[in-house]
Chains A and B, each alone.
Chain A
Amino acid sequence: MFRWMVQRDLTLAWRRRADVMSTLFFFVIVVSLFPLSIGPETQLLRSIAPGVVWVAALLASMLSLGRLFANDYQDGTLEQMLLTPQPLYLIVLAKVLASWLVSGVPLALMSPILGLQFGLPGNSLSVLVLSLILGTPVLALIGSIGAALTLGLRGAGVLIALLVLPLYIPVLIFGAGAVDASINGVSAQANLSLLGAVLAIAFVFSPWATSAALRISLE
């Protein structure tokens, strides 16, 4: 069942490629605007790089949240998901996994190229990718709670941002902190471990919270 759900969401994403690409392009363009506007000051660019890339990743992941449940809600598929004999927890987890594969992973894979624009050294680029690989699933997991709570509301997009962005702060601090540490020649391990811990907590609790929110939204 889990495999079917993931496969279904990936197929749907493939047939609506434009949506997925827009998230990625948003990320690329926002990050690229900074070096263009600041100019070739390597030292300054290096010091702002972690923050800029991470804030852009946060905003890009907000873009994909609106789609997570809204389409399934509109055509009634979500009702059917609530009425299956499968635990809703697993269904939510499958949907979040699929959404991360099409929106989070491409961001992480694209980030070294963007990091080069800021003159990041090689080992910082690998820390950047690693921090995004650990951090973007947390963004998707926490975001799913907001998406479920605002289902079917008007102006849901703004409301999701207000609900979810404050919860993203720890991820932002640890993620940007890890890259920052590696630029300054300190070990990034502490920040990455904390990011991993946040991922473990989000993995356990957020699908459960999302399931509860979905049941309320669909009553």
Chain B
Amino acid sequence: MLEAINLECIRGDRRLFRNINFALRPGEFLQLTGPNGSGKTSLLRMMSGLLAPAGGDIRWNGANIRSLGEEYSATITYLGHRPAIKEELTALENLRVASALHGTEISDSDARNTLGKMGLDGRESLPVRLLSEGQKRRVALARLVVCNTSLWLLDEVLSALDKTAVSLVVSLIENHLGNGGMAVVATHQDIHLSASSFQRLELAS
């Protein structure tokens, strides 16, 4: 279970938000909304452990995530604005390196299957530089399939994706929630999930 208690965020000399509280249990979904600059990305980065909160606490199963360190990192997958894709490497190499870094080494055929599922059939061996924005996004999203983590933190993942890709992502998330996973998604777009528990957190500007 992920808990946020009285979170406060200060960037530069501006307070982005304070007194943010929520709890996320297995199978639950949280959507972050709010105008540009309201702190959605900062909140996600706090949840990932990259950014230390100015006040308050984030707890994973009761323990502070910063004290858990790498143990916590092993349970999350964070996809930020920047796709973390190397333009010079092929889609296949990108996926295999990313998953090896995450501690799950996958075989060449597993990686091919996953990329096929993401609609990248026949483009696995092209340098990612040659793919379109949406296709690069799909390569980044393929990580969700191979990394077996329980908490997904997704920042604006639906941008640059076409309709089929959006529904693909939605079904990935539904599947994940169905298996007892948790997901936090920052997005402006409406997500239609059939999940039982759908929370929405609106950050004011």
- A12 cross-chain contacts in B, Cβ below 8 A: 86, 88-89
Q: Bound complex: CA of A1 vs CA of B105, how far in Å?
A: 8
Query: Which A residues from 70 to 107 make CB contacts under 8 A with B?
Result: 74-77, 79-87, 91
Determine if B103 and A85 form an interchain contact, defined as CB atoms under 8 angstroms apart: yes
Asked if B88 and A15 make an inter-chain contact with CB atoms under 8 angstroms apart, the answer reads yes
In contact, B84 and A84 (Cβ under 8 angstroms): no
Say if the beta carbon of B172 comes within 8 Å of chain A: no
Is B98 interfacial (CB-CB < 8 Å)? yes
How many Cβ-Cβ contacts under 8 Å join chain A to chain B?
76
Residue of chain B at shortest CB distance from A75: B82
Bound-state CA distance A1–B101 (Å) is 6
How far, in angstroms, from A80 to B93 measured CA to CA in the complex? 16
B 24-57 to A, binary, CB cutoff 8 A, 1 in contact else 0: 0000000000000000000000001111100000
B102 within 8 A of A: yes
Contact between A80 and B98, CB atoms less than 8 A apart:
yes
* CB atoms of B97 and A76 under 8 A apart: no
Question: Cα distance A77–B78 when bound, in Å?
Answer: 11
**List of B residues within 8 angstroms of A15 by Cβ:** 88-89, 127
Chain B residues near A82 (CB-CB < 8 A): 50
* A8 contacts B by Cβ under 8 Å: yes
Chain A contact residue count (CB 8 A cutoff): 24
Looking at the assembled complex, report how far the CB atom of A80 sits from the nearest CB atom of chain B, in whole angstroms: 5
Q: With an 8 A cutoff between CB atoms, is B121 at the interface? A: no
8 Å CB contact of A219 from B50, B78, B87, B97:
B50
Question: CB within 8 A of A79: which of B82, B93, B102?
Answer: B82
- Asked if B74 is at the interface of the complex by the 8 Å CB criterion, the answer is yes
Q: Give a binary string over B81-118; 1 marks a CB under 8 Å from any A CB, 0 the rest.
A: 11111111100010011101111010000000000000
The answer to whether A84 and B86 touch (CB under 8 A), given A76-B81, A218-B50, is no
The answer to whether A76 touches B82, judged by C-beta atoms less than 8 angstroms apart, is yes
The reply to whether A83 and B103 form a contact with Cβ atoms under 8 Å apart is no
Q: How far is the CA of A80 from the CA of B80 in the complex (A)?
A: 9
**A84: B residues at CB distance < 8 A:** 70, 73, 101-103
A187, CB-defined interface residue at 8 Å: no
| A11 CA to B127 CA, complexed, in Å | 12
B71 CB–A CB distance under 8 Å: yes
Contacts of B81 in A (CB 8 A): 76
Given the interface pairs A4-B101, A79-B50, the reply to whether A85 lies near B70 with Cβ below 8 Å is yes
Are A83 and B73 in contact, CB atoms less than 8 angstroms apart?
yes
B85 near A75 (CB under 8 angstroms)? yes
Query: What are 27 A-B pairs with beta-carbon distances under 8 A?
Result: A1-B103, A4-B100, A4-B101, A5-B101, A8-B93, A8-B97, A11-B88, A12-B88, A16-B88, A74-B82, A75-B82, A75-B84, A75-B87, A76-B81, A76-B82, A79-B50, A79-B78, A79-B82, A80-B78, A83-B73, A83-B78, A84-B73, A85-B71, A85-B73, A85-B74, A87-B70, A218-B50
Given known contacts A4-B97, A75-B86, what 4 new A-B pairs fall within 8 Å (CB)? A76-B80, A83-B76, A84-B73, A91-B101
Q: Which residues of chain A have a CB within 8 Å of any CB of chain B?
A: 1, 4-5, 8, 11-12, 15-16, 74-77, 79-87, 91, 218-219
Q: Which 4 A-B pairs have the closest CB atoms?
A: A76-B82, A85-B74, A76-B84, A4-B100
Q: Which chain B residues have a beta carbon within 8 Å of chain A's beta carbons? A: 48-52, 70-71, 73-74, 76, 78, 80-89, 93, 96-98, 100-103, 105, 127
